[in-house]
Structure 1
Amino acid sequence: MSVLAGLPVEVRILGPVQVIVEDRTVDLGPPKRRLLLALLALECGSAVPLDRLIDLCWERPPSSARGVVFAHMSRLRKALAGAARHGVEVVSNGSAYTLRADPSAVDARRFRQLVTDAAAVDDAATRARMLGAALDLWRGQPLEGLALGAAAQRLCVGLDELRLAATEDRIAADLAAGAHHRLVPELSDLVARHPLREPLAGHLMLALYRAGNQTGALETYRRIRTDLADRLGLDPGPALTGLHQAILRRDPSLDLTARGDTTTRPVPAQLPPAPAGFSGRRAAIADLDRISADAAGGPGLVAVWGAPGVGKTTLALHWAHRAADRYPDGQLHVDLRGFGPDATPMAAAEALRGFLDAFGVAPQAVPAGLTARTGLYRSLLAGRRVLVILDNAAASDQVRPLLPASPGSFVVVTSRNKLTGLVAVDGARPVALARPDATDARQMLAARVGVDTLREAPRAASEVVAACARLPLAIGIAAARLAVDPDLSLPALARELETERTRLDVLDGGEPATRLRAVFSWSYRRLDDDAARVFRLMSLYPGAVVTLPAAASLAGYPVERTRAALAGLTGAHLVEGHGPERYSCHDLLRAYGAELAEQTDPADERAAACRRLYEHQLHSAFAADRLLNPGREPIAPAPAGTGVTPADFATTADALAWFGLETPALLRSLRTAGDDRFTFELAWTLADVLEWQGRWLDLAGCAALALAALRRLGDRTEQARTLRIVAQAYLRLGRYADAETRMREALDVSVELGDVVGVAHAHHSTVMLLSEQGRHADALPHAREALRRYRAVGHRLGQGRALNAIAWCTAVLGDHRAAIDLCEEALAAARESEDQYGEAAIWDTLGFAHQHLGDLHRAIEAGERALATYVRIEDRFNEAHVLAHLGDVRARLGEHDRARAAWETSAAILDRLDPAGARRVHARLRADVARPGGQVA
């Protein structure tokens, strides 16, 4: 039995790969099988995908690789039968393999755990012994004796790096325990084998210096400086340079007696008080806990960034107080003043002076230069476990001199900026702090004002949280107002916050740190001119999320210039990214941007920005509509002006997605633009999409606005078009009399103008109106008249739709075979005119006709073709009606489960779009439940 692991099974990979079961070595078989076991052991307890195992085993996997792995794994399981009795076994889920075992049974995992445990020990001698025990687990090179490809070699290099780092940590602990004389020979050998390893050189310099050999220490520095310059073209880092300077001046802090044991060192406790009323942020706290635990064997660094007022400092301090006992050698804190009333961030040298003061370094012993000061600071932290909070940082360069160089300590940096350099260069782990969700935001308010207050006025509480944009600082200010004014109730505060323009006045805490305008301004004033202008003008956008082309149009900038400005805004967390080329800011920042726009940008410039935006919206919508419905009669908007960037659509899916996201903003612009020509053109462009989305009230409203605009313009031709749209909306809303009035008016205008196509359109629209009311015999003459007029002018799209209208009425009236013949002719016209919408309607008619002829399989085929088109163009209304027809046919075929599924989907759509149609489908569902076998009459 293994004395070291304390378990009956050991899996050894830190040297030749072995498995020891009750002191007996297991025969694992050939090298490839041992390599597979080692790869699983490296990720003990985690599933390793088969493809990853293959990539790690072969540089160029053979075609038989999967079979080879399967065979090896089968034999490996047999070889480990004895280990399986003790819970160590290889398991598979079909696409991945896992070594299931206590992690301490694997020497590499045991090694990591011992290193982590040692880092938590304060006494230097004990820590050195624990690290020595961890290093004793190594029996040679990892996976020794196995032929490794490049990928597997990289894993071994990582293990070797951990071994060397643990060796450095053990030596640092021995140095702290006073073993410098004994360490000189070992360090001399290590430095000779790793001549570019700065921590080893630093340890040797310190050991030589403490042993009385200052000359040897300085010669060691000279050698590594020369080697670094000759081989890499680099200078020694600040830690080694600082140590060199300290040795030159015989700095007392280097003496063992000056440093003392960790139990006699000053223990700084600089954390400000823990934030009162902290609530939520469970995920972020868990992230910090996990990152700090992962970093236990080395210097740890996390960067917390987020928008102004999102609670970065509050989170960092709350977590720091929870974690303080894990860092017994002290807690350091500094506000780096990256953002605040003082426009000048704190210099790193000033922050270092404060830290050195906290460690009891006499003022006269503090070096003057930043490099030497950093070196002394890092020397003091060597061998210690210290928590360092670097709050409110401006940039990565400000932070770097304040980072420890040795294991044990942990640094939390907070900033409004994304410190990507700290992540890329210094290995910081990012924690992006977003605004809390509505539930957590309510909990934050409850923590400040009391649960009972929220329970008494739950709606007002939700309104206050929403008005505060779920921003923790704003919620705190609102709670403070309630606390200091006993006459102010939560509902009264909610009413004060209703008006967006005055919201920032209500949320003014009276001090710089609690004035939202001031807090936001500290980030705004750091922006370059382009980013600042884009931020201001984004407040003019009538929607929550702004696309890159829309922002470019508002600013009148080229796309790449706008992209750069938005990158600056997202980096400063004044704007949030929402996927590719979509951006937003919360309501309070939006209100702040609107105030700045009014103060900074003249009225004519703001009006010009809005004009460019309207043109962007119109031309983008027009392009999307043409892509979705190429056969539709187009309007002819004037060319886009200078500085306007329309959206670009590669596919119909892109166009539909854009409409799905942008329709609310388009409707707001249509209602507020005050430009008659724009109002009509955008309403016309939106008509089909609004119909497909089933937004009948919006369709009626914007068509009515367009009609009023056209009457002011005196444009009779377009009035006829728009009257038909209004009639269509009224039809879907069940306002049949109003629909008929508008349709007759459209017909009269077209006759008056001699517009043959307009007259045909009016007759065709009348067919839909009468058919919806079940008046198919009355509708048929209108369909035939529409076809006659379309043929007179060669209007193929109209011919296809009129033929389908005749076919539908004919089918409903009982002549199904004639309807099928008419549909065949209609399909030819629809395909010729690329009318996918019309083609879908024809397939629906064919499905109906085949169903009533008893040809149910052809009915299904036709219905599925219609459904596919409606789904593709997101016409939910017609999608629902086709699903209802398909449900009927499937029920007749005895496919009751599929019939119910179709009806249920149809009913779910129609509940929102067509209540009368929904009632008919729900009746089918009830009948299906009530009848034996689920048959439908």
Structure 2
Amino acid sequence: MRFSILGETLARRDDGTVVPLGGPARRALLTLLLVSPGEVVSADRLADEIASGGSVSAHALQAQVSRLRAALGAAAIERAGTGYRAVVDPDDVDACRFERLAQEGRTALSDGDAGRAVALLHEALGLWRGTALADIAGSQTAQAAAARLEECRLGALEDRIEGELRLGKSRAAVPELRELVGRHPLRERLAGLLMRALFAEGGQAEALVVFEETRQRLADELGADPSVELVALHRELLSVDPSPSPAAPPAPLTSFVGRAGEVGEIADLLRVARLVTLTGPGGVGKTRLSVEVAGVAADDVCFVEIAPVRDGTDLPQVLLSALGLRENGLQLGGGGQTSTERLITALSDRVLLLVLDNCEHVIEQVAALAARLLAACPRLRVLATSREPLAVIGENLWQVRPLDDAAAAQLFADRADAVRRGSAADPERVRRICTALDNLPLAIELAAARLRTMDIDDLAGRLDDRLGLVTARSNRTADERHRTLRSVVAWSWELLSESEQRAARRFTVFAAGATAAAARQVCESDGETLESLIDKSLLEVADGRFRMLETIRAYGAEQLEAAGEDRTVRRAHARLVLELARTADPHLRRDEQLEWLGVLAAEHGNLLAAARWAVRAAEWETLLELLASASTYLWIRGLPTSVAPQAVALLDAIGDVPPAALGEDYVACVLLAAAGTGGLVVWRRHRTRAEQALTAAWPDARPGRYPAVLLLWMMRNATEDDPQRAFALVASRRDCPEPWVRAAAQYVSGFALLGEGDTAGAERAFGTAVEGFRSVGDRWGSALALDALAGLAGASGDRTRAITLTNEALALTMRLGALEDSADLLTNRGDQIVGDDAVAAGADYAQAAALARRAGSSTYLAAALRGLGDIALLDQDPAEAERLYTEALERIDPHWVKSVGNRVRTLAGLARVAEIRGDRTTALARYQEAADSATAVLGDATRDALRMLGLPETVIDAVSLR
């Protein structure tokens, strides 16, 4: 017989039929006996607890026992001394079985067997049917036992969810955990599990919000701090780098033949040498060998394809992009750093293997950059592939030679079998073909691909005819091997039909590959022709994009020029990229923002190629429209400096008078040009004309073609002599019919109101901006406005709200891949909590500094260093504080709106250090500098405005207000 007490008390026979137990007194009696089966329960206790209205008599108790025996069988309950006990196997009672299974599940979990643990815990929790011991809910025994069982149930739930998280089932766990945390807000393990589940789904910021909310509840309701375990989890989440992953080596599509020994030897060499260059002719297999080496030589690898780079000055930006780093943050500050300096900051303490593939066409620039990075970043290693050495001190050369005869034959056989099953051939004939091709892997693969449409005898004959080769060619030099490869490419090319040749040479304009639709449009080809090029190894396809091997692409580009089609096809390519950017632009301010950012990111190489061609071809109007259409994408992703050189060239070419009806495009390009090295000079030269063009382009409340330009204009102008003019220009769009523009105008109005001392009005404006940006699904604008609201909340003393708002903004910046902005928000949060929890604030500042260094962002690093300086002052270490403040001040960009608050606080910090040392003169001078910095943006710097910038009251009192 089986018994259930997890809910209404039931007894079932072995066939599953329910045994009639009678009234509530009899069910209560059985429940009390089954709480601990086999243990004696005194008659007095049974008499007291089976009736809710008071004790029953001994006679009545005996009568209830007799009736229960009649229902269950006399042997089920026996008299023992002064009481009774249930004579049943504990495993026949659901509560006992539940506790056993829960314990076994917990043991399996602790032993690392998550699969078994989850199965056991599901079985245990499946026994639960409601409130435990419901039939004796009012008794003292029930209260204690029910509390124990409920605690066991919650523990089993937690164990089951932890097991599922270990099995990778985080998505399904999040809703359940949110509900459980809502019902048990002080249960820290549930909060920790929710944090882990959220982080597993990419919600690091949301996980940090859960910690902060739990910490606050514990403090408010219990006056306690989070447990050591929860604090450790919090630190663990903070220490995890949310940055985008660096570019991984391309996934091999074919088998690796003949070089296994070399892979191990080169990997061993990289353990003692920091620069290894694989040299050899084109097509010898350097790239594939580097991919295999990277797979075994390092855990953290960044693979950079140098072949598409045409201008060596672009190398730093290419590396930043490959590392997954944005050029600057949401807040539009470049910090005055060059891309190379950002790289050094990002890699200074990182253990990384940087693979630079196909360097020969920009060898001098690669050599210079590699030498500088290796000198400044002691934990960096570089593996380069090139047809010639980099000639850098410390370089270790590895000559990649053609395959030996056996490996070459094996490669040919593998590739031939892939295109034509069962294409086994006479080994001597295969050997002759491979020898004719100097055993070069790429040449062998191209030749083997021809077996799809011809026999091996025909292949061998055509090779001999085309190349004039004999069977013994072992003494060729590298240059001769290169010519052999070129001949094979040429031979493969000549075997293409006219339509295939036309499609192949036109495809060479795609520097970053292409979708099928884009390839068909620019190549003026059909899908069948492109598929044929894939079959013949002239194109590759991966992840829905067509790509061309660089050796073939270089040959095809020559054919494009020889056919007189270069300008026409490249113009078509540029117009295609332009139309894509135009199509994407409005979506970047809507809910589909992330999707379209991904689309444009995949085409970034094509955008750069189109922009460079437009400069070479003096296609200035096309370039102007292209850069303007892509500007919102470039700013959100932090990549404006990647096109700054082209924007500068454009401005130099068109002068101060933009083409008719393209004034707004002109302003967008001025902003992009000002983001690059030497941008301040460009800005000073074009600012007045750009303002006139912007005013003319936006004469009334109608939305322009590039609404983000207005917001960017304000951010760039906020530190000029008359920032209120920029505020007014943007804020005047509050009645614009475009929702995003209205939200941006409200955001800008908030700063104008703040400068006038209207804090309440500023808060309303920022709040309206948040609602507006959210209504259209723009995470970028929402993060900006939430950050502004958080600053106001902190200035008014509402730290809880400030932290909540900052965490919301942090969640958005992480989804955007905005590493620098996440560092900025962590610094802001540190500022918000430093007065209550200096330890937590210090952790935020340290994490922000680590992220800023990882991103190579000097400006965000300056903010974090300023925060660490504040902590040093609190720790009564003025020397360390002065060091940190001084370094921060050196890194701060005084022309960037978001730098103002940190500059003011840094100067105030240096003033406090001077006060501690008794140097009143220096202290007053520093305070005056702080006031000057504030008034440069806010006009008459009111106390509320200075609070918004993060100044403590003691500093505000000391600063000379104007």
Q: When the two structures are superposed, what TM-score results if normalisation uses the length of structure 2?
A: 0.41
Q: When the two structures are superposed, what TM-score results if normalisation uses the length of structure 1?
A: 0.42
Q: Which has the higher contact order (CA 8 A, sep 6+)?
A: 2
